[in-house]
Amino acid sequence: MVTDDQLAQIMRCPLVRAQRWRPALTAAMARFGITTARRAAHFLAQVGHESLSLSRTEEDLSYSLPRLLEVFGHRIPAKSAGEFVRQPEKLGNYVYARRNGNGDIASGDGYRYRGRGPMMHTGRGNYRRVGQLIGAPLEQQPTLLLDVETGAQAAAAYWRDSGLNAMADAGDVLMVSRRINLGSATSKRTPEGLQDRIARTRRALAILGAG
């Protein structure tokens, strides 16, 4: 369905990276119904944004002050932000506490279940949910999401389970992006990196002949 060359063009990544990921991604896409060019384009565009073109499969929470406020300014008061600069574990435990099935700050769940995999799954509840979908103990072994095959399966399983195939069929990049980044397709907030997500989707649609 997608060739190594096409994946490299969609991601704008080295061919060797596309060759490493393409078998796992296409197998996962076939398993979870991402079987049309339009669905594939939307899926790969979102994966490309979340993983920085398949170069990153674990969330880096070591932020400068400006970037920290850009990403988490809605959760951290500006006057307190300085104490989280270049403090990834402290930041993760604070901003993700009591979200997506995580415990409180002291539980350490926020950092333990930070974004991983090509779709950057975040939160204990999401690890549990996706693990059940693919039959892997992700809650008990969160770093399994760093495995190429496991990460690809998790991304595609989450996609189908979240109703994203139908949103892709409708061609609604904003709705897809809100569901992935904000957890709700009907959120009124602007998803992080929306313009990049749109640009990647347009490129993928053109390359796969679905534009």
Cα gap 203→73, rounded to integer Å? 31
**Domain boundaries defined on the chain:** 4-56+146-208, 65-113
Are residues 85 and 63 in contact, defined by beta-carbon separation less than 8 angstroms?
yes
Which ranges in the chain belong to alpha helices (H)?
4-11, 15-31, 37-50, 65-72, 88-95, 109-112, 124-134, 148-161, 164-169, 173-182, 194-207
pLDDT for residue 140 is more than 90: yes
Compute CA distances 77 → 53, 70, 106, whole Å.
Answer: 31, 12, 20
What is the pLDDT at residue 74? 87
- What is the pTM assigned to this prediction? 0.94
pLDDT for residue 211 is more than 80: no
- Which of the listed CATH numbers 1.10.530, 1.10.390, 1.10.3470, 3.40.50 matches domain 4-56+146-208? 1.10.530
Are residues 75 and 95 in contact, defined by beta-carbon separation less than 8 angstroms?
yes
- The predicted-structure confidence for 36-48, as pLDDT tens digits, reads as follows 999 999 999 999 9
Work out the percent of the chain whose per-residue pLDDT is above 70: 100
Interhelix angle for 37-50 vs 4-11, to 10°? 50
Are residues 178 and 186 in contact, defined by beta-carbon separation less than 8 angstroms?
yes
